Structure 1
Amino acid sequence: MNLTNLEQLKLAPKITACFVDLDNTLWAGILAEGQKPQLFNTRLEVLKKLHNKGIQIYIISKNDESDVDKAFSELKLDKSFFTWVTANWQPKFINIENLIRICEIRPETAIFIDDNLFELNEVKQKISALNILEAENIDFVLSLPAIIGKKEQSQIEIEERKNRYRTAIKTELFKDKFKGSDVEFYRKLKRSISFGQVPADNLDRATRLLVETHRLNFSPGKFSDYEKAKEYIHQRFNKGEKVYAITASEGEYSLGLTGVLIVQYNENTAIITDGSFSCGIIGRDFEPKTLLVLIDKLKKENIDNLNINFILTATNIRLKEIVEGIGFTIKQKKVDKNGNLQLVYFLNIKDYKITENYDWITVSDKAPTFEYVGHPYVIKFFDNYIKPLFAKDIKILNLGSARGEVLGLLQANVRDDFYKFLNDKGVIYTKVDMEYYPDEKNLVANAEDLSEIIGDNSQDIVMAIELLEHAQRPWLIISEMTRVCKKNGYIFISAPSFNYAKHEYPIDLWRFGPKTLRDIFDNQDYKILHLEIEGDPAIPRRVMIMVKKIGDSPLEVELPIGKIDNERGLTVFD
C-alpha cells in the first residue's frame, strides 16, 4: 500500500463508513472460481469493532448475489450485521458512487478496503476523496485518531442508524421499478411518525441527538459540548418548557429517534427555541409533517402563534425551505457577534390553513417509544468500582432494580453479557423489587423493611440504584442497607440530585445532594471510598457513593431538614 494513502487516512477527521470487498478480503477464496471460502476471523473482528462505534459497513463484491448468500450461510455470517450487501458484476466504483449518493456519505469520511490493487486504484481514480486501504492492512484502521476517539454506541442506536440507510437504499431501488404517480409511490413506502413529550429518563437520549446532528440543527454549534447541553436541557425541562420527540418508521424498519424540539410557552404564543432533525431522514418529508403535527397540537391547546428561532448556515438551509414551504414568514433577522444570521419565523396558527398535508405519512396514536439504554454515568461508576469486586460466592443484593434498567440491562446483548459475567464469576445475585418479574425471579418486598427476607450482616455488596427518590421513607432503605451489609462489605447508592428532572413513575419525592450522603456515612464504622457527581458541581444531576462497612454497627439514618421545591413538588437535601 502506498504510504501516501496511509498518511492521508491518518488525517481523516472523521470516519463514518467502510466499503469492504469479500473474496480474499473478508474471506480467503474466490467464489466465482468454485473455491470454498475460509473466513478471516481477525479481519471480521476489526469490522465488529468499527460496527460497535457506529461505522456503517457496506459489502461491495463482484459476485453473483446467490453465491454470496450461500457463502454467508456456510460461514454462519449474519447478513444483517452489514448495512447493505451489494453483489453484482458492475465496476466497484459505480456501486460505491451509488451508495455515497443515496446515503449522503462524504467520500473523505469513508474507506474502501480490498485485496486487489487494481480495484483500489480504479476506485481512487474515480472517487478521489475516498480513502483506500489494502485488506492486509485492515488493522491500521483501529489506530486512526478518528476511530480511537469515537465512543461505542448502544446496539439500539446502531440498528436504528443502519435502518435509516437501508430504507434510503430500498426506496431508491423500489422507485426505479415502480410504475405510478409520486403520491402512490410514497404511500407504498408506509412511512409513519410518533410525536410526544420526552420523559425525564430519556432526556439524555434527546440531548445526544441535539449534540450529534448538525445538518438540520436549529442552533448549530450551541450543543457541541455534551455535558453543557445536558445541563441546558434539564434546566429547560425543570422550568416547564416541553421537550418533544419524533420517532419514525418506514415499512418494517424502525428509524428510531429522528427529531427533538424544545418548545417554550408564553401565554398564547409557543416558541421552538431549539431542535434538530436527524440527517438520516432528510428528503423524506418527515420534518414538515412533524411541524404540522405540532401546529395541530398547539391549535387544540388554544395557542394562537408559533415562532421558530434558528441560526441559518449553509448546512441547515433546508430548514429555511421547510418552514417557508409550510407557510411561516420571517418576523425578525439579525447578525450575531459571530457573524451568523439569526432568524425568527412566525406563523399565525389561529387562522392557518394547511396547503399540503403530506398524508402519505401516517401519524401514530402511540407516544414515541424509547429503547432505554441506562444512565451512562451510573454504568461507568458501576463498571469502574463495583464490578471489579465481583468474585466467586460473594452475595450481591440489588434493591429496587430487578430488571437492571439503569445499568442498561433492557438491551438483550448487554443483559446477556452481564449475566454471563455473573455466572462465570460464581456470584450469588439477589434482586428485590416491589413488583414480581417472572423473567427476573426477583424477591418481592419493600426495601424499607427487609427483615423477613434478608438477614443481618449477610451481603457482601448492597446496591440501591436510582431507588431512593421513589421511596416514601428513603432513610429506612439506607438503614436497611447498613444492616444487611457484612463487615468489610460495600454499599453503592446512586440517586438523582438537584438538577435532575422530575419523573413520576411510580412516585418521585426526593433529591439528594453530595453533602447529605457524605454526612450519613460520616461514622467510624463506615469509610467513603468514592463519591462522584454528574453535571455542574453547583447543581448536579446525580450523586453516586460507594462506602465500605469497616465496623459492625448498622446505622439509624435520619435525614436533615430539606428544602421544598414547590414548583416540582420535591424535597431537596444538600
Structure 2
Amino acid sequence: MSEQKIKCVVWDLDNTLWKGVLSEESIDGVNKNIIEIVKELDERGILQSISSKNNYEQAKQKLEEFGVWEYFIYPHINWNPKSESIEDIAKLINIGMDTLAFVDDQAFELEEVKYTHPEVLCIDSAKANEILNMDRMIPKYITSDSKNRRKMYQNDIKRNGIEKNFSGTKEEFLSTLNMILRINHATENDLQRVEELTVRTHQLNSTGYIYSYDELKNFIKSDKYDVLVAQLDDKFGQYGKIGLALIEKNKNVWELKLLLMSCRVMSKGVGNVLLNYIVNRAREEGVTLRAQFVPTDRNKIMYITYKFNGFKEIKKDDKVSILEADMSYERPMAKYLKLMYEEVVK
C-alpha cells in the first residue's frame, strides 16, 4: 500500500459522525470524539469531505445544527455507490486516490470502496480513535498555509461557482478577481512551506524531485542559487504560497532545476507568469535560461507549459530532458493580474 500522506478524509454520517440513522429519525447527538478528530485534522491541514447515503438537505441541516457543516468540502450526500462519490471527491479536489482515507461503520461500504479503489485507506469507524496517531495522518510540518487550507479551498469553490455563471472570456473573468502575484526570494521562514510544496505537488512539478528542508536551506544561503516563492491573493482572500522555482546561476547559463505550482491555481495562468518572469530576468542578466524536465506519470502538463512558452528540447539523457528558452524576445506579462517582485538581488 502506498505510504503517501493523507490529504483528505471522507466521512460517513450514520453511526459514524453522529449516533443513530438519520432516515430512521433516531439521531442521538454527535460522536464527540469523532468531532474532535475532525477539528484536529482540520488544524493539521488535512481536508475532509462526506460520503453518506442520505437526503442531502436533511443531512446538511443536521450538520449545521451540530455546528460542523463548515468543516467539509464537496460533500457527497446521495444514494450512489460510495466508491463513485469518493472518486468524484478526489477529482474535484484534484488529488490522487492514494491520498484519500474513508471512514465508515458498515463493512459492506468499506469493502465496496476497497474493491474499487484499493489505494484508498479504508478505516472502520470503530477504530477512528487511532486516526490521529497514524503516521499518514501526521504531516511533517503544520504551516500557516496548512491551517488555512480548508478555507482556501472553500474560497476556490466560491470562485468556481461565480466563473460558471460568467458570460465573458476566461481572461475577462480573471481580470475581475483583482489578483496579485508576489514573487520573492525564499527565506528560512518559508522553508517548511516550500518543502511541503515539493512533497504535495505532483501534476505541476517539472521534475518530481522532493527537496528536504536542509537542502533548501543550503540553496537559499548560496549565491549560486535562487529559490523563488510565489504567493497569490485576490478579492476572495489568500491562496497562500503556491509556486516555487529553483534556479542554478552559472556564468552564461541559468538552469531552472525545479518549477512547480499548486494545482489549485492551475486554471489561473500563474505558472506561465512565473516562468515568463524568470525568462525576462535571465534576459536582463544576459544569460541563457535552460530548464530540467523529468517526466512522471502525472506531470506531462509541465512539459506542455515549457513548450508553450518558447522552450525547445536540446538534450535528453536517460529520463532527464534539458529545454532551452528562446531568449530573443521579452515575455509580455499577463494583464489580468498585478505582479509584485523583489527588486533587490540576493
In 1, distance between residues paired with 2:199 and 2:117? 30
1:112 to 102, 127, 131: 102
Per the alignment, do residues 216 and 22 of structure 1 end up closer, same or farther by CA in structure 2, a change over 3 Å counting? same
Q: Does structure 1 residue 100 correspond to structure 2 residue 93?
A: no
* Residues 1:21 and 2:15 are matched in the alignment: no
1:322 CA displacement: 0.6
Residue pair 1:216, 1:277 contacting (<8 A) in 2 also: yes
Relative to 1, partners in 2 of residues 1:275 and 1:108: Cα closer, same or farther, differing over 3 Å? closer
Greater shift in the superposed pair: 317-326 or 20-29 = 20-29
Give runs of ≥4 in structure 1 deviating > 6 Å: none
Pairing partner for 2:300 from 306, 317, 330: 317
Cα offsets for 1:54-93 (capped at 9, x unmatched): 332112344455544543443333x443344444555544
* Cα distance change of structure 1 residues 206 and 115 upon mapping to structure 2, 3 Å threshold: closer
In structure 2, C-alpha distance between the alignment counterparts of 1:105 and 1:37, rounded to whole Å = 34
Under a length normalisation based on structure 1, what TM-score does the superposition of the two structures give? 0.51
| Alpha-carbon distance in 1 for matches of 2:36, 2:66 | 14
Deviations 1:150-198 (A, max 9, x none): 43513x2224433564456556655655555444455556654222223
Higher relative contact order (CA 8 A, sep 6+): 2
Q: What's the % identity of the aligned pairs?
A: 22
**2:190 matched to which residue of 1?**
202
The CA distance in 2 between the partners of 1:121 and 1:222, in whole Å, is 34
Q: 1:325 Cα shift? A: 0.6
Counterparts in 2 of 1:186 and 1:242: CA distance versus 1, 3 Å: same
Q: Which residue of 1 aligns with 2:261?
A: 277
What's the offset of the Cα at 1:215?
Answer: 3.9
Structure 2, unmatched stretches of 5+, are none
Residues of 2 paired with 1:291 and 1:188: CA distance? 23
RMSD: 3.7
* Cα distance in structure 2, aligned partners of 1:257 and 1:94: 32
Query: CA offset at residue 20 of structure 1?
Result: 0.5
Given that 1:216 and 1:278 are in contact with CA atoms closer than 8 Å, whether structure 2 keeps it comes out as: yes
| Equivalent residue letter for 1:363 | K
Query: Is residue 43 of structure 1 aligned with residue 34 of structure 2?
Result: yes
Q: TM-score by structure 2 length?
A: 0.79
Q: Structure 1: any 5+ residue segments left out of the alignment?
A: 1-10, 336-340, 368-503, 505-567, 569-574
2:277: which partner in 1?
293
In the TM superposition, what whole-angstrom CA distance separates every residue of 1:458-487 from its partner, at most 9, and x where no partner exists?
xxxxxxxxxxxxxxxxxxxxxxxxxxxxxx
1:60 aligns with 2:38: no
Corresponding residue of 2:65 = 74
Larger Rg: 1
Equivalent residue for 1:233, pick from 197, 212, 219? 219
Is the Cα contact below 8 Å between 1:289 and 1:358 reproduced in 2?
yes
How big is the shift at 1:119?
Answer: 4.0
Q: How many angstroms apart in 1 are the aligned matches of 2:62 and 2:12?
A: 14
Change (3 A) 1:208 1:96: closer
Task: State the SS of the aligned residue for 1:137.
Answer: helix
- Aligned residue pairs total 343
Structure 2 CA distance for partners of 1:258 and 1:160, relative to 1, 3 Å? farther
| 2:178/2:235 contact within 8 Å kept | yes
Assess if the C-alpha contact under 8 Å between 2:180 and 2:340 holds in 1.
Answer: no
Judging changes above 3 Å, is the alpha-carbon distance between structure 1 residues 86 and 313 closer, same or farther for their aligned structure 2 residues?
closer
Conservation of the 8 A alpha-carbon contact between 2:206 and 2:260 = yes
What letter corresponds to residue 302 of structure 2 in structure 1? Answer: L
What do the CA deviations read for 1:342-399 (whole angstroms, capped 9, x no partner)? 2322223342465xx6544x134476xxxxxxxxxxxxxxxxxxxxxxxxxxxxxxxx
Of residues 276, 280, 286, the one that matches 1:303 is 286
Query: What do the CA deviations read for 1:256-275 (whole angstroms, capped 9, x no partner)?
Result: 11112133444565432344
- Structure 2 CA distance, aligned partners of 1:75 and 1:113? 19
- Note the C-alpha offset of 1:246: 0.6
Letter in 1 for 2:140: K
For 2:322, the equivalent position in structure 1 comes to 344
Deviation per residue, 1:254-304 (Å, 9 max, x gap): 2211112133444565432344333443454221121123334455x3535
